[in-house]
Amino acid sequence: MTREEFSQLRTKFEALLAEPPQQRTALLADLSQSNPVLADELRRMLAAYASRTGLIDHPGAVTILGAPIAPGTQLGAYRLEKELGRGGLGVVFEATRADGSFEKRSATTTSTISSSAGLSMSAAFSPSSITPTSRRS
């Protein structure tokens, strides 16, 4: 597929997504008359989009021994304060050092991949995943 063909495919796909399903069917039927290959590819893309079966569409739950990791959870020396972001590979929390050795806020990443890959929690939540922040609230 050339760059121009891909650009056309993407533009048409995005335009179809903006339409109600019944209008999509009519537009694809019209396109089938002039460019059946493009219409078939768009049908496949729309079906894949509707199925939402990818890893990022259904991120795994972040848990420790079956209990969900959520604000208030203490992991090692850190207490999770609030969720900052979530994606297919994990969750990022704002955390504070809770062991009294020093006070520092951090961004802490937990991984959904580690638990599904059979790795220990220390691999999913390790000191290397803790990043001090200088942001003030």
**pLDDT tens-digit readout, 1-32:** 789 988 989 999 999 999 998 899 999 999 99
DSSP β-bridge partners for residue 130: 108
In a domain, residue 137? The reply is: no
- Does one domain contain both 94 and 116? yes
In a domain, residue 84? The reply is: yes
- Does one domain contain both 121 and 68? yes
- Does one domain contain both 99 and 120? yes
Number of domains observed in the structure of the chain: 2
For 58-96, write each residue's pLDDT tens digit: 455 566 666 677 788 887 788 888 888 877 677 788 888
- Does one domain contain both 72 and 115? yes
Query: Cα(85)–Cα(93) distance, rounded to whole angstroms?
Result: 7
Identify the domain containing residue 29 by its residue range. Answer: 3-51
101, amino acid identity: S
Is a pLDDT exceeding 50 seen at residue 51? yes
In a domain, residue 111? The reply is: yes
Which of 108, 39, 53 is closest to 79 using CA atoms? Answer: 108
- Does one domain contain both 68 and 46? no
Query: Cα(80)–Cα(70) distance, rounded to whole angstroms?
Result: 7
pLDDT for 118: 41
In a domain, residue 21? The reply is: yes
Which of 59, 80, 67 is closest to 125 using CA atoms? Answer: 80
pLDDT for 69: 76
In a domain, residue 45? The reply is: yes
Whether the full predicted model's pTM is greater than 0.75, yes or no, is no
In a domain, residue 67? The reply is: yes
In a domain, residue 57? The reply is: no
Query: Cα(112)–Cα(116) distance, rounded to whole angstroms?
Result: 7
- Does one domain contain both 40 and 75? no
- Does one domain contain both 16 and 71? no
